[in-house]
Amino acid sequence: MTTKPLKITETALRDAHQSLLATRMSTADMLPIAEKMDKVGYFSVEMWGGATFDSAMRFLNENPWERITALKERMPNTPFQMLFRGQNILGYRHYPDDIVEKVIVASIKRGIQVFRIFDALNDVRNMRWAMEVVKREGAHLQAAICYTISPVHTIDGFVELGKEFAAMGADSICIKDMAGLISPYDAYELVSKLKQAIDLPIQLHTHYTSGMGSTAIIKAAEAGVDVADTAISSVALATSQPATETIVAMLKGTPRDTGYDLGLLSEISGYFADIRRHYAAFESGFNGVDVRVLRYQIPGGMLSNLVSQLREQGAEDRYEEVLAEVPRVRAELGYPPLVTPSSQMVGTQATLNVLLGERYKMVPQEVKNYVKGMYGRPPAPIDPDIEKLILGDEEPIDCRPADLLEPGFEKAKEEIGDLAWNDEDVLSYALFPQVARAFFERRARGEVPPITEPRIFPVPKAPEPVATPAPAAPTAPRKVLPYSMWKLAGRVGNRR
């Protein structure tokens, strides 16, 4: 067993509030505690990427780029980390190579030092260019394995993927368990085999949804994992990460003792406990453990969103049917790991199959694109009958999807015109055209307050508990699809 201290990546400023508070935490609420966080000695603080970018413009009326600079001024000693969705960057579709490159370069210039790069399908073709740019620019390149469970995913297969990442120049490897599926003993085995096969630091990212997160980290620590992701306790557990203080206390006095000050961590936790009250209106209502994630392999955030969508259209009684449909759809679509954007596609298709009473009667455009190969190569072949049903005589592509895309920066710059004040604005527009344009228009009217100014949110209310509806006999399919379901299918409005 290694005697090196376990290092911690703190997720309170990104994944924790994305998982628990709908990504609503403002920069102004992060800044007062930043100096204390800087004193902990974290391996890194994950504070950017994922859904934080578009949420900043869409919901917080913030320029997301400014968050990095504002926090770095108060946290000069702690490496900043971002989650980067490979060719999807920060969005839900593939972007051209020039946009990928410019976002990375601009992020580094602002202060991002660690890039965790993943692809929802573990298709390395969708990661290669981003990895090359990060490596070229001298930042820390962390390649992530999207961990999942299926008949075609094995520990030995994940180890082979890790070896491929190492050959591509990765500085470290992350096991990205986005749904909290990894068991303690599987974590031990996977970390052990990766450490034997690869001479690189290994990091474990998991969620507490199934209740196994803390013990998975401890067993991974026994196997020699170098870094683990945790969240300060007041924004931990449920669909967030295991609690930082718990892991620190459990390892105290052992060969993996983190050396972190529990008193300091307690002060940080107290701050976030107070801040969390400001966001009560955005709480999902899921506060415990849901072992159904092990059966359906659905991330906790997706579970609570599913309940909300069904409740909105008076179809809560179909919840168990939809849950049972998700694994069937996932198998037919080649067992994609359920992470953004594949989780949204599988969940939406399963819901449509149940509510319409006929499987694949309606297929969202995103699912059609997925089957066509526009998101990459699925882990297993798509069911040929389903592929024929969705594509007809159209042939799927077999190349890297981004090879079909024209450069996008100059076109975006021309489209947004004088509303863009700099190249960062052009990139924001290239990533999220509608959201960015609306933000820039508010800014031009003087309606964007300084990033240090607190944001005003709805009056807090107690969240409704996420309860499992009792199984009910199948009911007749609806004749008309409600507006909310059209939105879920991606036909109208924006989706998350």
**pLDDT per residue as tens digits for the range 172-187:** 999 999 999 999 999 9
**Structural domain spans, the chain:** 7-282, 292-402+466-488
Average pLDDT over residues 394-403: 96
Confidence check: pLDDT of 473 > 60: no
**What CATH topology corresponds to 7-282?**
TIM Barrel (3.20.20)
Q: What local confidence, expressed as pLDDT, does residue 60 receive?
A: 97
Structure tokens that stand for 248 in this block: 């620190």
Q: What is the DSSP letter of 266?
A: H
Structure tokens that stand for 301 in this block: 């955030």
**pLDDT per residue as tens digits for the range 250-271:** 999 999 999 999 999 999 999 9
Task: Out of 175-179, 316-320, 353-357, 375-379, pick the least confident.
Answer: 316-320
Confidence check: pLDDT of 164 > 90: yes
Task: Out of 115-129, 198-212, 405-419, 444-458, pick the least confident.
Answer: 444-458
**pLDDT per residue as tens digits for the range 29-68:** 999 999 999 999 999 999 999 999 999 999 999 999 999 9
Name the residue among 344, 338, 396, 340 with its Cα closest to residue 368: 396
**What CATH topology corresponds to 292-402+466-488?**
Cyclin A; domain 1 (1.10.472)
Higher pLDDT, 423 or 471: 423
3-state secondary structure of 161: helix
Q: What local confidence, expressed as pLDDT, does residue 311 receive?
A: 78
Confidence check: pLDDT of 101 > 50: yes
Confidence check: pLDDT of 296 > 90: no
Task: Out of 100-109, 285-294, 303-312, 322-331, pick the least confident.
Answer: 303-312
Confidence check: pLDDT of 478 > 50: no
DSSP one-letter string for 26-86:
-HHHHHHHHHHHHTT--SEEEEEETTHHHHHHHTS---HHHHHHHHHHH-TTS-EEEEE-G
Three-class SS of 329-348: HHHHCCCCCCCCCHHHHHHH
